Amino acid sequence: MTSKRSSMTSKTSTYTYQSDLPKLPVPALADTLEKYLSFVKPIQSPEAHKATCEAVAKFRSEGGEGEKLQELLQEYSEDKASYVEEFWSDAYLVPDTSPVLNLNPFFLLEDGPDQKTSKSQVGRAASLTFASLKFASLLYTETLHPDVVRGKPLCMAQFKHIFGSARIPHTKSSAERDEVLSDPNSKHVVVMCRGQLYYFQALREDGSVVCNEMDIRGILEAVLSDSEKLKEEERALKAVGVLTSLDRSRWAHVRENLISHSAHNKAALEIIDSALFVLVLDDYIPKDIHEAAANFLHGSYELRTDDGDEIDYQAGTCINRWYDKLQLIVCTDGSAGVNFEHSAIDGHTALRFVSDIFADTVVTFAQSITKTIYSKDHIPSHLNAKVNADPTIDTRPKKLNFDIPSASLEHIHYAETLLGDQILASHTHILEFRDFGKTFITGNKMSPDSFVQMSIILAYYRLYGEFVCAYEPVLTKFFLHGRTEAMRSATPKAKLFCECWCSSFPTRQEKIQHLMDAVSEHASLVKECAGGKGVDRHLFSLKSIASKNNVPVPDFFNDAGYKALNHTYLSTSNCGNPSLRLFGFGPVVADGFGIGYIIRDHGLQYTVTSKHRQTERFVNTLARYLKEVQDFCGGTTKIAVRNYRQTSAEKMDVEGLESFDSQNSVSPRNKTKVAQDMMYSEAFDDIYGESTNAGMMDKVKRRPSVDAKTFKEVGVDIDEALMAAGTISPNSNKRKLGGTE
């Protein structure tokens, strides 16, 4: 890529390792089918599995349908960055479903480090927005350090689309799928407050940040003040953002009507779509952690009526969203997180973003403590972007008003009521288990991630007596344009473990041994998935290459086994990072559970969601099992013995284990295996994704930037609110920068 930014590229530039990354290999057909049979056997009856074996035998026969599709796929992949990318893009963007609860995940951040601002909405929002702008600036100049895990670089292609991107709906008559448009020159931020939309310029032409944290505070105070002018009922009637929660074709139809009704509406939508991100200020304080998670996942639901009026209206935060974009959400009490549309980015990319901005707020707070004792640069900045105040750049916030036709007003109401149905049908419950965590699990020679996977499968089995399909995404970003591979955690040994643990006959030692066997099998298979040797992505690509070449789709893909593998009752994902308190997503099937979890040194966090199922009871069953494991393994006695693992987790190697295991009677065979499992599980603590993840690098289209005249004129100045907040003086048309003219 040749641009004004390419000259800044150095050995540590954001994309410096891209050309060194290997391509995701197309697995051998025989290997994939053997694993496929082992994955489906535990979730099938003997009769159903016999029929599946026959379908596989026919599909893999010499000169048969499987071999022909494999040849087509290998030929297709020769000039592609990734053989699966196009197909996952189509799978993600073609469905007509709403992104709310079906696609968009959320992160809930830990409280901020500075108590003076962490409980203040404006203070927390300004701090995180300023850090986000520095992150965006480093990406613009391509000086953000690339992701590297254990000395191996990860693909950074997704970072080109984290900012300035939006998913654009299309009617089926105009296109077969939605598209993601990205503006690489985006310089502004959109703010949502009480269902209303504002925007302000935040970056200069060279990519440096034009407003500091105090400037942003003034902007947000002005927005909050202005947003109160509109009556609450009128806000609900004109909450354009709730339209993004509609099914895609319906939203596309309403969007087209808005654009055709007014050129002003078209310009307003362009400003929103091309914004770096949407900062959401919620007029809401969650009562507990369960409400907090639900708010960041889908918003709150609260009906109100005007005095003397029997007509109700929506006053919840569910209408204060723009689900087609990356959203940074901050509540009245300072609780903060993100909800993101991830057609173009997966959770690992979003995690890097939130981790860096949270870390930057921590470092900034530390700098404020030490600057009076040491030199100003005693603690280096985490996001060291250039911040250049420029009084010639107007960064005052402007309000986006829409000219909404009556038909679109009706659709806003319908969108809100349909979203309300989804919210009321969904249940989110949190388990913050504090009795033990990673240290205890590794002290008992088990991979933390695999251990948690078994806990989820066991809880479902104990509650319903059924062994069902479970999904866990495994990171494949070691490959060019890599996303995730599907790990099917309901393995044969996992089934034996569930049957043994829930039986009254086996001894405690036998139950623990079955648990360890299941954990070991899972950890080994995860490693294969990370190496591009999974099952799901390969089989899906074979099915897709048939359609692409107008070849009849083989009967193999209509077999009960393939359908069972793709009905994910337990959609799970691991996201381990100290910056997060919670993360989660909705179930991927109507009768399933969505389970996001975080593994801490001394605790386990689960966010469990479902529709019309016993979510809280599932969580209670899960907690009961964890306490049983603790009891069976002898409480917490092993934590102190192996506590050194906690402090040297990132340096763990076989040699480090030898000194411990030589004193604790661990066999040479097992100690090597424990070391490999530990090294692997730690390297992949940050894995996150969903079964609908889609490769997008070659699908994202560059959108033209909003022209300067449109950017300046489409919004309405809110000068009165700005003057009331003291951000500008009555006789000046420029905002004060850092407290000076």
Residues labelled as active-site residues: 342
Kindly state the helix (H) or strand (E) to which residue 122 belongs, with its residue range: helix 121-140
- Are 9 and 139 a contacting pair, CB within 8 Å? no
Residue holding tokens 């709150």? Answer: 300
Orientation of helix 448-464 relative to helix 668-683, angle to 10°: 90
DSSP letters spanning 222-255? HHHHHHTSS-HHHHHHT-GGGGGGS-HHHHHHHH
Helix, coil or strand: residue 323: coil
Which residues are registered as beta bridge partners of 337? 108, 329
Strand segments, DSSP code E, in 441-579 are 470-475, 484-488, 570-574
- Decide: 6 and 44 in contact? Cβ < 8 Å: no
Is 351:686 a contact under the CB 8 Å cutoff? yes
732: β partners: none
**SS3 assignment, position 307:** coil
Closest listed residue to residue 339, CA positions, set 101, 604, 611: 101
Token look-up 């993601």 returns 180
Neighbours of 57 (CB within 10 A): 12
| Alpha helix stretches (DSSP H) within 201-346 | 213-227, 232-237, 248-261, 263-274, 289-298
Is residue 267 within 8 A of residue 710, CB to CB? The reply is yes
Question: Residue 253 CB: number of other CB atoms within 10 A?
Answer: 18
Rounded Cα distance, 134 and 357, in Å: 8
Could you tell me if 477 and 82 are in contact, meaning their C-beta atoms sit under 8 angstroms apart? no
Contact call for residues 155 and 331 (beta carbons, < 8 A): no
C-alpha span between 336 and 121 (Å, rounded): 9
What's the CA gap between 65 and 675, in Å, rounded?
42
Euclidean distance between CA atoms 592 and 425, whole angstroms: 13
Coil vs helix vs strand at 402 = coil
**Separation CA 341–CA 239 (nearest Å):** 19
Give buried/exposed letters for 16-36 (b at 16+ CB in 10 A, else e). bbbeebebbebbebeebbebb
Q: Is the dihedral of CA 545, 549, 555, 560 positive or negative?
A: positive
Partners of 603 in beta bridges = 600
Angle between helices 536-548 and 65-77 (to 10 degrees): 90
Side-chain half-sphere exposure of 31, counting CA atoms within 13 A: 12
Backbone angles phi, psi at 630, to 5 degrees: -60, -40
Q: What is the residue whose two structure tokens read 């900034």?
A: 364
As a dihedral over the C-alpha atoms of residue 339, residue 323, residue 184, residue 152, rounded to 10 degrees, the angle is 40
Task: Identify whether the C-beta of residue 178 lies closer than 8 Å to the C-beta of residue 357.
Answer: no
Return the H-helix or E-strand segment holding 129.
Answer: helix 121-140
Q: Dihedral (C-alpha) 271, 272, 277, 281: value to the nearest 10 degrees?
A: 120
Which DSSP symbol is given to 392? T
